[in-house]
Structure 1
Amino acid sequence: MKRFALLFLIIACSFTQSRAQFDINKLMEHQWVDSVFNSLSPEQRIAQLVWVNTAANKDVTSQFKVAELIKKYNLGGVIFFSGDPVKQAQLTNLYQEEAQTPLLVAMDAEWGVGMRLPGVIPFPYNMMMGASDSPEQIKAVATAMAQQMKRLGVHINLGPVADSNTQPLNPIIGMRSFGESPQKVADYAIAYMQGLQENGIIAVAKHFPGHGDTQSDSHYTLPLVPYSRDRLDTVELYPFRKLAEAGIAGIMTAHLSVPQLDPQEAIPSSLSAPIIQGILQNEWGYKGLVITDAMNMAGAETFGAPGAIEALALKAGNDVVEFPKDIEKAIEGIQQAIERNELTWEEINHKCRRVLAAKHWAGLHQIKPINTRNLLNDLNSPQAKLSKRQMIEASLTLLENQNQLIPLSRLDTLRIASLIIGNQSTVMPTPFQKMLAKYTQTTNFFLPENFSNEDLNNLKEQLADFNLVIAGFHLYESKTRHSMQVGNMQRVRPKRPYGLTAETESLLQYLGTEKNSIEVFFSSPYALSEINDFKKPQGLVLSYQADSLVQELTAQLIFGGIGASGKLPVSLASYYSLGDGISIEKAIRLKYTIPEELGVNSASLTSRIDSIVDDAIAQKATPGCSVLAAKDGKVFFRKTYGHHTYDQLIPVKENDLYDLASVTKITGALAAVLKLTDEGEINLDSPFSKSWPDWKKSLFHRSNKEALTWREILAHQAGLIPYLNFWTATRKDGQLNSKWYSFQPTEKNQLEVSPGLFLSQRFKKKIYRQVRLSELKEPGKYVYSGLSFLLIPEITKRLSGEDYTDFLNKNFYHQLGAYTITYNPLDHFPINRIIPTEYDRYYRNQQVHGTVHDEAAAVLGGISGNAGLFATANDLAKLMEMYRQMGTYGNHKYLNKKTMKEFTQVQYPENNNRRGLGFDKPLLNNQELNESRSYPCTAANPQSFGHSGFTGTFVWTDPANGLTYIFLSNRVFPTREGNKLGQLNVRTNILKVIYDEVEK
């Protein structure tokens, strides 16, 4: 027994070390193979060499017919095509129950089971993977595919495609190939094989001896491959030979006519002994399974009837015939061939043992029913999503980048038109356009696939005012899916030729010669080959597919959220060569990704944040909120919760604007002060009164604030009182005084307090006077005050010579592409995108919606330094990222690093004052405190900084840990009374979760 255990351990270790290798001769020696083989009748040994096709979306009668065939003959395997994942798993369990010998379950899943099953993530096509020029990335994707297959009860993937696609008009391979270079195709196919076989999935290379240079489809005819043996050895055969040497478990024989390998007239290579035995098995010494392509294809049927061709296939050297047109005739034909001595039982028995050896390798000696619980979630695992994302990112190919246009810079100078051509989706804007709009302001345009000259001329008129057109071409997606007579399987087949119209040619010429443009082809790269006299645009990206994630990542590449590294896997006429591709090494703006890219568990992160927010909404701490988290410039959490109001009529959306309240202090007023300090207009240790002379005292001008410095004021220890209710001075007998107000704007009344209520400009003087004469507490103690921030817009105007909002837009928001950071949002956005705040029963006697909640900012017409800004979480994150990066974002320096360092460090720790200059900071001994006493949480690094707002907003950024966090809510709806959001520590508890999950 000990001897047997030791032997088993040695075998197991050897098997693990060479898992990607597949030497079937050694596997055939296993005891399980002997035992099962001896249990089979002669007819069952034949049936082990036959695979039947099925699909989970077939009718019940067809599915049960397959079950009957499996039970009757004890077939060797089943190939699934289209259908539902759960139904496929249930059918697999049924079929395995009916089988005397466990079935090999195969799928033709070249880019993962999502190729066949709706609802499951599909991976990129082989050609897109080839553009990554990374065997490591390809292996990672194949590993993710293998994990999906194992979970689904699949043992064999009919992939990789190892054809070198050297024919642009190939009607059947095309995007299914890794490219045109035989060497690279071999490298990539081996990596694909390793990803599958190291994870227990049998890989089957196809279509031997090579289908990459044909202009006809073997599903409908017998294609001719007319080349010499030298050419075949160096192009068609080369990848298959390398795969055979690498130990691939299976090779599929194609239905091709290759006269230089077998001169017999019109014989398909799948039925040719000189090709299969002569080259594959004898010349190359290949020891794996040899499997036919589907036997119901016209390329095979041209040579004989069902039954006869299956017998010929086995005689030629195939071990398995898959997808016969008629299972009963196939088995009967093989039996008749044995009776006629065309096949021997020795050959059948040998092949049967080979099939059984493959079953043991695949784990069928320990088969268990598939558990369908959480199946779809498991198939769409975060790890699978990450593998797909990383592959797409590595594959996007930048072919033109004149004057280093990409990544786009100086966003404030660009008027961008986002044009989509040919997309047939009913959902507009497209994922591409939505992602472009996350980076800056864009205007969307659309052209149908078959647009007319009139359509084009109208478009040109509309584009006249735009200085950049980003055009996404979807024209070359296959809109028609042709049945390939393989059950219900349907495969994307590009149109031949690629569908360019004269109008499309005109559009391309216009974009290339008359407009500053970036063209993106969400299609086969071969589409470019068909363009006559291609006028190269300033920017050109090949994105290969129109998958929504491909679209999103392409948009990120254009703006610098990701770099570029893809290389062209094929040559394109005289325009571009194999291997072309411009590299951009680093990202310069926010990247939108998933937590797993940062090593964060998305399920844990999401469930913990959901729990906090759901509880807050249930307790009516806020009707809804928007949460964003980024690390190292990568947005890894972005989610909205709840509704605009408690009536739950309008859900919160990502592009909704919130009233930032006191977050305005650091995103508006402080941004201006930072810039003016950089430019030498403000000296932090000089008196504030130097910039604001109203605070200077004279014989006739009282002031107790003349000596207060900028540093003391911004650190909140100058002695200023927190707040003044200016609006109360505008009332008379409990009503708003008509001396100050009108219901329409007038020459004097220009300050819009709320819609339909305008305050006199003269009231500003009253505000400034009240601030100057306000009480001054003992200096040197930390007392939070917003009074000085009320004055910063006017100070900015005096020092810069520019209007305050223009100054901020010019120097920050518009350059950042943050167009939703704005005062008075009703001037720019529809009200249904703006979250309401309080029903004001004190001052305005109306629902505050679209105008500032803070009364001090309201009497200044909504434009103040203490409050008044509105923004989306996404745009606010851009500004906070610039702060986190110490003044730099998007390859542009907004502020000097020295200035940012000064403003973000604690100024007066000796006074137990945690504040920076304007910025809030953690408690001085924060990391020594327990969580209940810390602020904002114990994990916050001393370098971190941010601010909170009365309406329920909070922003925080941590340069030491690379974190940026945004929380926006309207906790003051419908009333400011009570502060459950603060009592429940919702904002800081979420920040703690983010730190926790990132540190894990």
Structure 2
Amino acid sequence: MTNRIKKAILLLLIFMAAWGKTFAQFRMDELLENPWVDSVFQSLTPDQRIAQLVWVNTAANNDIAAQLKVTEMIKKHNLGGVIFFTGDPEEQVKLTNVYQASAQTPLFVAMDAEWGVGMRMPGVIPFPYNMMMGASYSPELIKETTREMARQMKRLGVHVNLGPVVDINTEPQNPIIGMRSFGESPAQVAACGLAYMQGLQENNIIAVAKHFPGHGDTQSDSHFTLPVVPYSTERLDSVELYPFKKLVEQGIAGVMSAHLNVPQLDEQEGIPSSLSPKIINGILRDQWNFNGLIITDAMNMAGASTYGEPGEIEALALKAGNDVIEFPKDVEQTIAGIKKAVENGLLSQEEIDLKCRRVLAAKYWAGLNKLSPVSTRNLMQDLNNPQAELVKRKMIEASLTLLENQSQLIPIQGLDTLKVACLAVGRTTPTPFQNILSKYTKTDNFFLPEQFTAAELEEVKTKLKDYNLVIAGLHLYESKRRHSMQVGNMQKIRPQRSYGLTHETENLLNYLANEKKSIAVFFSSPYALAEVKNFTPPAGLIMAYQNDSLVQELAAQQIFGGIGASGKLPVSLENYYKIGDGINIENTVRLKYTIPEEVGMNAQRLNHRIDSIVSEAIQKKATPGCSVLAAKNGKIIFRKTYGFHTYDQRTPVSEDDLYDLASVTKISGALAAVLKLSDEGKINLDNKFSHDWPDWKKSLFHSSDKENLGWREILAHQAGLIPYLNYWTETVKDNKLEDRWYSFQETDGYQLEVAPGLFLKNKFKKRIYKDIRKSELNPPGKYVYSGLSFLIIPQITENLSGQTYAEFLDKNFYHSLGAYNITYNPLDKFPLDRIVPTEYDAHYRKRQIQGTVHDEAAAVFGGFSGNAGLFANANDLAKLMAMYLQMGTYGGTQYLSRNTMEEFTRVQFPENNNRRGLGFDKPLLNNKEVTPEQSYPCPGASPESFGHSGFTGTFVWTDPTYNLIYIFLSNRVYPTRETNMLGKLNVRSQVLQTFYDEIH
């Protein structure tokens, strides 16, 4: 037995298990004799009983005349229902209330919302297409998705969804079904359709299976012609009819009859299945004992309308067994034609009455006996609540299908070895896909427009020459080119379907597969890939099914390991890939970008509380703006920026903006180096600091009282070192910079750039080291925060590693992490407008500081210091903190050993009432015993947590107990450091506590 057969059997067992689950079945026989049904039925005239069988189309964006016309028809005839197609949600609700108030009998409100009301309404979250849902192979997820669809529909006052589509799409060139189908396997489609039905009907939304008897294997569209389904009864039973029969057995409320010609089911020439008694009554009613509603497909479609005149075909549809006439071309003629059919004996009054009772029974089941007006209050927030987005995210994530992963390319490793190009095919501006890719590492974007030329392709290939990884997003589009052809007396329309796959597109795919290491992502129907001639797969290939923004974002995360891979193809693609193909990746290795609800937090509460705290801070000029990030369980669940770079409010804060980290540099720069050197055995924490910094040893040339200070005591801030020294003052006389120390040009002897165009003499470093050695030393054993040793650590790093300090950090951490936005001296790499300014330095540099380190001690080192000098955005700083939180591991790479991380992050000297770890700050030792106002960093922080704060208004905190990362970046020192309103308001701690509160 092959693995493929085993897989197919396993999937079938999963589907069969899904059928056995309980759900709200629709039982017409139990509803027909309901007192409300009987009472309403008795109140209707014979003409009104006919009108209850008619659903008229409408739209919330129609002009007022069209809306008034529908209102008048409802009043005049007491119509059974309306079907909304397009428009604004609030307008639809208002119109629904008008229509319901105009009706004697409560109206059915229906929508053709196969992937949710967002299919019809811009501004409302749309869920994935059926085919994408089918790729999840998860009936439970589909059910969860349609529960959300049902919730949205009920909020809008909708009772009927014209879905699920359970057509088996076995024809890649099908012009009307395609992505609307769950796939090509009858068992899979049946299981998906059942789950779809369950999610709706458990919430009292009537589900309607369509397009009976099966529109999946046609090359024409029943909107424009009458498609022929020419297969044998054996084939029809095992394929086309199979899912309909299963859903009927399980109690689906409705079935939609399609306008198809199926000769093996009804030999009458040219008859649409929707008008065929042999197909509708013969199969659904007589063979399958279906007692729910049978609803026609739109009667204005050519597949039906060419068979007869308005009124005539609707009467035939009812005679065939349909209960509801949907979307007739002319309501007046339809009702008149049905009345005439009753008068002529084609239809009996008993048939009309039974159909009317069925409609009323379905209305009772859907709750129309307790109808009330629909409120517009908070409508958009209710429709687009976080739960809807979460469900959509889960479905997309489960559906993305990894088809190629040569040499385990995905998730991408070795970011420091890659030069990554992100190519958008079919787009000319940055895409959501490219934007998320850039959050994982440094990338460059390139574009090819729709229908790009050979010359444009050659130009892009030239630009890509120096890149060793190309990630291509193919945003292909669907063009429907139809050719008319005469068949007998009927004009047939035969489509040709293209997904933007020109000769140039195929050349591009061949180039990516054969000349570059590449990953291609198809944001389109999977059938697009099937159209490629002589397809050679690239090293990585993802089928993403849709061009939706969220699909793009999650596909980017899959490439870098923010999410895993589990989707499977729901269809076969020529000889390239078969149904069920898809590579699994279970473990995630990098941060994921998602919403708070995925980790059990409430986005609305978080936003409300944090917005309030930060808004007050900005209003009271504690800081011009800030960037806040939080991650829980390896998932970034909060990313938000507030305010502006400065109080003149010219430049809003952006997620990409770089902030001066100030003393957060100590743990993200200097301490990272010490961690690595300790891990490699080059630094022994139990040695004296002077072992690695001989300048502190006594010698014939100088004395030292620091020779016996230990690494542990120094890093835990209890060695007796004083907090700070103002070195720059030694270079100033009479409030002016001394010429002997400074140059306005960089030369061999003046390379310490303290500000743009201002260079300090290199020899001044020796004076700094001497000043530190000669500085006052207090008695050891007491916690006194000091930054002096961190000024020396960069030089120790260089001495022990043989690399410059910056190179050491880039190589061992930042670039491998994909954190190219953590850097010293950012003006060398980034434009000025991406760097948030700090203070106006009126004493030393006599200028506004922007892009140059704020801290003067770090400035005299040319910006390369261990106490300050790093700049970063919150996103990249989170990667480093995630590595720390995960005890040295990130992105599938072990940067530091667990033992080393555990040692550095534990409290070293609790007996001295010293809360510090090695370099890392820690909560108060009695944090749970003091008042919330006295606690540090906040009451919720666990004893295992660690982090650091920075003078410029920065703060990072990680908590292994709660798997939490928190980053707060601000420039509270703008325009001056004199008032610390940020500290007085306790802003950073309040925001951190908000996350803890939400966890608890």
State TM-score, norm by structure 2: 0.96
2:11 paired residue number:
none
Cα drift, residue 700 of structure 1: 2.3
Distance 2:194 2:798 in 1: 66
2:185 paired residue number:
181
Distance 1:54 1:251 in 2: 21
Q: Deviations over 1:141-169 (max 9, x none)?
A: 00000000000000000000000000000
Q: Deviations over 1:861-889 (max 9, x none)?
A: 00000000000000000000000000000
Indicate if the aligned counterparts of 1:253 and 1:269 stay in contact, CA closer than 8 A: yes
Cα drift, residue 479 of structure 1: 9.4
Q: Secondary structure at the match of 2:932?
A: coil
Matches for 1:98-117 after TM superposition, within 5 Å: 98-117=102-121
Return the letter of the residue paired with 2:184. E
Cα drift, residue 842 of structure 1: 1.2
Are 2:741 and 1:740 equivalent residues in the alignment?
yes
2:310 paired residue number:
306
2:811 paired residue number:
810
Return the letter of the residue paired with 1:187. A
Return the letter of the residue paired with 1:415. K
Cα drift, residue 107 of structure 1: 0.1
2:127 paired residue number:
123
Are 2:80 and 1:76 equivalent residues in the alignment?
yes
Q: Deviations over 1:292-320 (max 9, x none)?
A: 00000000012111000000000000000
Identity of aligned residues (%): 71
Q: Secondary structure at the match of 2:498?
A: coil
Q: Secondary structure at the match of 2:928?
A: helix
Distance 1:479 1:958 in 2: 55
Matches for 1:349-368 after TM superposition, within 5 Å: 349-368=353-372
Indicate if the aligned counterparts of 1:703 and 1:772 stay in contact, CA closer than 8 A: yes
Distance 2:235 2:24 in 1: 29
Distance 1:734 1:74 in 2: 91
Distance 2:727 2:53 in 1: 90
Return the letter of the residue paired with 1:49. L
Distance 1:216 1:708 in 2: 85
Return the letter of the residue paired with 1:774. S
Distance 2:401 2:169 in 1: 18
1:238 to 219, 235, 242: 242
Q: 1:581 to 1:18 in 2, by over 3 A?
A: closer
Return the letter of the residue paired with 1:756. G
Q: Deviations over 1:106-134 (max 9, x none)?
A: 00000000000111000000000000000
1:714 paired residue number:
715
Cα drift, residue 480 of structure 1: 10
Q: Deviations over 1:712-756 (max 9, x none)?
A: 100000000000000000011220001001111122111110011
Are 2:869 and 1:865 equivalent residues in the alignment?
no
Distance 1:961 1:579 in 2: 38
Return the letter of the residue paired with 1:340. N
1:381 to 379, 382, 385: 385
Cα drift, residue 19 of structure 1: 5.8
Q: 1:479 to 1:444 in 2, by over 3 A?
A: farther
Matches for 1:337-486 after TM superposition, within 5 Å: 337-423=341-427, 428-477=429-478
Q: Secondary structure at the match of 1:966?
A: strand
Q: Secondary structure at the match of 1:677?
A: helix
* Cα RMSD for the two superposed structures: 1.3
Matches for 1:287-686 after TM superposition, within 5 Å: 287-423=291-427, 428-477=429-478, 496-686=497-687
Return the letter of the residue paired with 1:81. F
Distance 1:683 1:363 in 2: 74
Q: Deviations over 1:178-211 (max 9, x none)?
A: 0000100000000000000001100000000000
1:989 paired residue number:
990
Distance 1:709 1:245 in 2: 78
Indicate if the aligned counterparts of 1:25 and 1:354 stay in contact, CA closer than 8 A: no
Return the letter of the residue paired with 1:437. S
Distance 2:881 2:480 in 1: 44
State TM-score, norm by structure 1: 0.96
Indicate if the aligned counterparts of 2:173 and 2:495 stay in contact, CA closer than 8 A: no
Distance 2:685 2:599 in 1: 39
Q: Deviations over 1:563-603 (max 9, x none)?
A: 00000000000000000000000211000000111111110
Q: Deviations over 1:251-301 (max 9, x none)?
A: 000000000000011000000000011111110111110000000000001
Cα drift, residue 929 of structure 1: 2.2
In terms of mean alpha carbon deviation, does 852-861 or 697-706 score higher? 697-706
Matches for 1:672-821 after TM superposition, within 5 Å: 672-821=673-822
Distance 1:658 1:688 in 2: 31
Indicate if the aligned counterparts of 1:19 and 1:200 stay in contact, CA closer than 8 A: no
1:215 paired residue number:
219
Indicate if the aligned counterparts of 2:661 and 2:870 stay in contact, CA closer than 8 A: yes
Are 2:851 and 1:850 equivalent residues in the alignment?
yes
Distance 2:286 2:606 in 1: 56
Cα drift, residue 423 of structure 1: 2.6
Q: Secondary structure at the match of 2:472?
A: strand
Q: Secondary structure at the match of 2:582?
A: coil
Return the letter of the residue paired with 1:367. L
Indicate if the aligned counterparts of 2:482 and 2:496 stay in contact, CA closer than 8 A: no
Return the letter of the residue paired with 2:897. N
Q: Secondary structure at the match of 2:265?
A: coil
Cα drift, residue 919 of structure 1: 0.2
In terms of mean alpha carbon deviation, does 470-479 or 917-926 score higher? 470-479
In terms of mean alpha carbon deviation, does 495-504 or 460-469 score higher? 495-504
Indicate if the aligned counterparts of 1:477 and 1:546 stay in contact, CA closer than 8 A: no
Cα drift, residue 495 of structure 1: 7.2
Distance 1:480 1:423 in 2: 22
Are 2:74 and 1:63 equivalent residues in the alignment?
no
Indicate if the aligned counterparts of 1:206 and 1:253 stay in contact, CA closer than 8 A: yes
Return the letter of the residue paired with 2:397. E
Return the letter of the residue paired with 1:86. E
Cα drift, residue 497 of structure 1: 2.9
Indicate if the aligned counterparts of 1:219 and 1:297 stay in contact, CA closer than 8 A: yes
Distance 1:50 1:928 in 2: 71
Q: 1:477 to 1:908 in 2, by over 3 A?
A: farther
Structure 1: gaps (5+ residues): 1-16, 483-492
Cα drift, residue 481 of structure 1: 14
Indicate if the aligned counterparts of 1:131 and 1:397 stay in contact, CA closer than 8 A: yes
2:53 to 49, 54, 57: 49
Q: 1:675 to 1:724 in 2, by over 3 A?
A: same
Q: 1:342 to 1:511 in 2, by over 3 A?
A: same
2:13 paired residue number:
none
Indicate if the aligned counterparts of 1:626 and 1:640 stay in contact, CA closer than 8 A: yes
Are 2:101 and 1:97 equivalent residues in the alignment?
yes
Distance 1:320 1:928 in 2: 70
Indicate if the aligned counterparts of 1:476 and 1:495 stay in contact, CA closer than 8 A: no
Distance 1:477 1:407 in 2: 30
Aligned length: 970
Return the letter of the residue paired with 1:953. T
Q: Secondary structure at the match of 1:782?
A: coil
Indicate if the aligned counterparts of 2:451 and 2:500 stay in contact, CA closer than 8 A: no
Structure 2: gaps (5+ residues): 1-20, 484-493
Return the letter of the residue paired with 1:763. F
Q: Secondary structure at the match of 1:938?
A: coil
Q: Deviations over 1:935-972 (max 9, x none)?
A: 11121111100000000000000011100000000000
Are 2:264 and 1:281 equivalent residues in the alignment?
no
Cα drift, residue 476 of structure 1: 2.9
Indicate if the aligned counterparts of 1:881 and 1:964 stay in contact, CA closer than 8 A: yes
Distance 1:273 1:396 in 2: 42
Return the letter of the residue paired with 2:395. M
Return the letter of the residue paired with 2:515. E
